[in-house]
Amino acid sequence: MKTYLENRKWSDQYIPEMRRILSKYFWCKESEIHEDIERDLMENTDLILPNGQTVACRVRKNEYLYSYRYQFTFRYSNPFGCKTEFEKMLDGYGDWLFYSFAENNTNKLSAGFIGNLDAFRLWYFDVRPRSKPLEFKQNEGDNNGFVIFRYTEVPNFLYILKQEQKEIEVFPKIKLNNI
């Protein structure tokens, strides 16, 4: 089983690419976006924007893009006994979610979105149909569990990341463009 730091090392290789992309959407310089690992452990805060808003980041391997392109997940359980991303997010931490898929064999991101976590929390607590149970997935071998949501379920949440490259169709009427 990998430790938190081993898992984080893999996703941290994408931090420069995340900064580049976020700087375009939040009208700031890449160098003005910084990380605070200690704060992330407590508050679901991978990156901090110049205006003080926080960004929770999630990178999935490219092999999952086509199978899970309609979904986004939050870590719901872990073997370390610490508060999970989902718990921290529901507690009100994190302004934005940067959710992306890694490109194979590079430190680039192939697709993704930015989600408004306030809109997600509003939907989760006040709008989400209670009759529909949450969906969970347990990873084999590492005891990490994830709660699964679909982009189309959460109104006013999704900001598709766009660039001039080819498009990847992810769900009806909306296209998720390559970053």
Is a pLDDT exceeding 90 seen at residue 48? yes
pTM (predicted TM-score): 0.83
Which residue type is seen at 64? Y
User: Which domain does 150 fall in, by range?
Assistant: 4-177
Query: Is the separation of the CB atoms in 175 and 131 below 8 Å?
Result: no
| Residue (of 9, 55, 59) closest to 34 by Cα position | 55
pLDDT tens digit string along 60-81? Answer: 888 888 888 778 999 888 877 7
d(CA 76, CA 157): 20
d(CA 94, CA 58): 12
Query: Is the separation of the CB atoms in 22 and 49 below 8 Å?
Result: yes
d(CA 94, CA 57): 10
Q: How many domains does the chain have?
A: 1
Residue-level pLDDT at 49: 96
Residue-level pLDDT at 169: 36
d(CA 111, CA 60): 10
Give the pairing type, strands 109-116 and 158-160: antiparallel
pLDDT tens digit string along 107-152? Answer: 888 888 888 999 999 989 988 877 778 888 887 777 788 999 987 7
d(CA 112, CA 116): 14
